[in-house]
Amino acid sequence: MQPFFLATSLIILFAVLLTLYRVIRGPAIIDRIIGVNVIGTKTIAVILLTGYLFNRVEFFVDIAVVYALINFIGALALSKYFERRGVEHKGLTR
């Protein structure tokens, strides 16, 4: 069963790589925020797959719980901050 977990983790990491292009080259700051949020959700799955890969799920699942909480609070805090401060958008003209 271990090669299946390894292959699944590698496919998810490839999806993270595709999302990382949007985080680096995103036209506005708000594209980067949604990219980081998506990467955080994928990281929870990768942490659990690593736990199955090492046969230590009961340790890694607590790390995944904390990561899910931090991901949600970080997305909310960033969206509130940039709602107050304003977002600059250079890609499309109004």
Partner 1 sequence: MTVLAVVLVCSGVFFLLMGAIGLLRFPDFYTRMHAAGKCDTLGSLLLLTGLACFGGIDLASVKILLIALFIFLTSPTATHAIARSAFTRNVPLWTKERAERQ
Q: List interacting residues with partner 1 (CB under 8 A).
A: 1, 4, 8, 11-12, 14-16, 18-19, 21-22, 28, 30-31, 33-35, 37-38, 41-42, 44-45, 48-49, 52, 57-58, 61-62, 64-65, 68-69, 71-72, 75-76, 78-80, 82-83, 86-87, 89, 91-94
CB atoms within 10 A of CB 66: 11
CB of 89 to partner 1, least distance (A): 5
CB of 54 to partner 1, least distance (A): 13
Task: Tell me the DSSP string of the chain.
Answer: -HHHHHHHHHHHHHHHHHHHHHHHH-SSHHHHHHHHHHHHHHHHHHHHHHHHHTT-HHHHHHHHHHHHHHHHHHHHHHHHHHHHH-----SS--
Nearer to partner 1 by Cβ, of 54 and 89: the residue is 89
CB of 24 to partner 1, least distance (A): 12
